[in-house]
Structure 1
Amino acid sequence: MSTPVSPAQRVGIVVFDQVEVLDCCGPFEVFSVANRVSHGRGKSEPFKVSMIAKELEVSARGGLVLRSHSTFAEGTEFDVLLVAGGVTDDAERDDETINWLQHAANRTPLLASVCTGAFLLATAGILTTQRVTTHWEDQAELQRRWPSLQVEANHRWVRDGNIFTSGGISAGIDLALHLVEVCGGADLALATARQMEYDWRRASGVATAGEVRSACI
């Protein structure tokens, strides 16, 4: 009798105008490479990764134009939802973006942010009292605006229950590799980092015990 194939974990990466390129493309590459590594081992691809935005096309920092796979209006369901960072001022003031994040948070088992993506999760009321982190330049501002949060310094990523946050830019790669480890196992995460020739700081994060609502854990 053949072994049933586990369904791929649906990973959504939220992007917006003035998103930081590596904040979204770094994690996208991690999950994509994890799929290639798994396929090369004769196994099924563990992730179905896509970018989602208010509009199909967004202009990233530096002028790079990105085309998302779907829009908020299409109502795609995810198992893991990661909010990229960048210049978030306009996105924080956009009711459609914030309302979508609030709705998505209620139906997504694992939530994550890279860099200033934490500001969007906090604006949406998803981050409230958790231990979190963000880019070192923005940690004081995050703490000032949401004093009930426990903003951590000197960690590449922080996990509190089912919510994961990371420092800026390249730290999102460390977080994404950790999410691969959580959902696909340490062996796959280590092989993915090796395939990417990335010096993964595997022990660079901190986890807080708490309820986790994910089928992949």
Structure 2
Amino acid sequence: MPNPPRRVAILTFDRAQLLDVAGPLQVFATANERYVAAGGETPYAPVVIAREASILTTAGLALAATPFAGVELPLDTLICAGGRGVDAACEAPDIVAFVQEAAADARRVASVCSGAFLLAAAGLLDGRRAVTHWDHCADFARRYPQVRLDPEPIFIRDGRIWTSAGVTAGIDLALALVEEDLGRATALAVARQLVVFLKRPGGQSQFSAALALQEGGRFDALHAWIAGALRQDLSLPVLADRAGMSPRSFSRHYREMTGETPARAVERMRVEAAKRMLEERASVAQAARACGFGSDETMRRSFTRLLNINPQAYRERF
């Protein structure tokens, strides 16, 4: 790392999402602590910047900030937070102009959650792949058709531009930036210190089977049991018995609550668990056995049906 430390600025505004700012900020602060503890020099100089010297987040907490009019450029990294106030920020000429000016000479530019709208308003995402919070994807696609929106990933890197999904995904993004700069060992040390995953379970997708199925709250306990019993027999009679219902009644109520058949829900949870194992370098055979597929071929069919990619190709890619 160069000396002096790399300047990382997190741009915020009134009615920003608190964790969009605090999450990445804490990652860089903890990276400083861990890197220095390991014998290195302080790698980052993180700062929160805004148009005013104080902003009020949607959580009701005010944040002190450095007014960006006095921020010395160039920055190493510019990160734009998101939140309910992002629309007003996109319509503020001085904020958009600062993003454009700061991004021009920054080594990399990033956004957290709906902060992608601010990057798009500044023209920085034209022709690029990007992601934002799942709940804002339809609006984003309508407003910025020139951006190649991909609603699935936790974060996306397209050249020197990084975008991330909703809220806590800013932590995933910041950990990836630290890993790029300081290596996996330091990023893992930061993740352990913050008690978060360096690579979260469920893979690099903001849509996890477990989260989606939680909308059927009546079966939350069943889903928790399934997640720990993927190697077992999870046929309809077994699940119905676990739920204390007849197979016919269970199947009907389950589909009404979750929108899926029990068999498809189990398949999705098994595929998600297998994805995680493959990302952590398990073999296809190991993942198939551990996740209850019974055979490599059965897992291959499930991957192809749900992900349109076979397990070996998924392992090589991720």
- Inter-partner Cα distance in structure 2 for 1:197 and 1:171: 15
Match of 2:40 among 36, 43, 46: 43
* Greater relative contact order (CA < 8 Å, ≥ 6 in sequence): 1
Counterpart contact for 1:19–1:61, Cα < 8 Å: yes
Structure 1 gap ranges (5+): 206-217
> Deviation of residue 62 (structure 1)?
2.1
2:72 is aligned with 1:76: yes
Partner of 2:204: 204
Partner of 2:94: 96
> Deviation of residue 76 (structure 1)?
2.3
Partner of 1:24: 21
| Distance 1:119-1:5 versus aligned 2 partners, 3 A rule | closer
Counterpart contact for 2:10–2:48, Cα < 8 Å: yes
Cα-to-partner distance string for 1:87-139 (whole Å, 9 max, x where unaligned):
11211111110111111111111000000100011111111110000000011
| Distance 1:19-1:40 versus aligned 2 partners, 3 A rule | same
TM-score by length of 2: 0.61
Query: Counterpart of 1:193 in 2: which secondary structure?
Result: helix
With 89-98 and 109-118 compared, the bigger mean Cα shift is at 89-98
With 196-205 and 25-34 compared, the bigger mean Cα shift is at 196-205
- Inter-partner Cα distance in structure 1 for 2:153 and 2:124: 21
Partner of 1:135: 133
> Deviation of residue 56 (structure 1)?
0.7
> Deviation of residue 141 (structure 1)?
1.0
Partner of 2:11: 14
Query: Counterpart of 1:18 in 2: which secondary structure?
Result: coil
Query: Counterpart of 1:10 in 2: which secondary structure?
Result: strand
Query: Counterpart of 2:39 in 1: which secondary structure?
Result: coil
Partner of 1:149: 147
Structure 2 gap ranges (5+): 206-318
2:57 is aligned with 1:60: yes
> Deviation of residue 154 (structure 1)?
2.0
Counterpart contact for 2:156–2:162, Cα < 8 Å: yes
Match of 2:111 among 88, 98, 113: 113
Partner of 1:215: none
Aligned residues: 201
Give the letter for the 1:204 counterpart: Q
With 6-15 and 23-32 compared, the bigger mean Cα shift is at 6-15
- Inter-partner Cα distance in structure 1 for 2:27 and 2:62: 20
- Inter-partner Cα distance in structure 2 for 1:25 and 1:10: 16
Task: Identify the structure with the greater strand proportion.
Answer: 1
Query: Counterpart of 1:62 in 2: which secondary structure?
Result: coil
Counterpart contact for 2:52–2:67, Cα < 8 Å: yes
Counterpart contact for 1:13–1:84, Cα < 8 Å: yes
Give the letter for the 1:63 counterpart: G
- Inter-partner Cα distance in structure 2 for 1:5 and 1:82: 20
2:28 is aligned with 1:34: no
> Deviation of residue 6 (structure 1)?
3.9
Residues 166-177 of structure 1 correspond to what in structure 2 (within 5 A)? 166-177=164-175
CA RMSD of aligned residues (A): 1.5
Identity of aligned residues (%): 40
Higher-Rg structure is 2
| Distance 1:129-1:5 versus aligned 2 partners, 3 A rule | closer
Query: Counterpart of 1:201 in 2: which secondary structure?
Result: coil
Query: Counterpart of 1:42 in 2: which secondary structure?
Result: coil
- Inter-partner Cα distance in structure 1 for 2:185 and 2:43: 13
Counterpart contact for 1:5–1:44, Cα < 8 Å: no
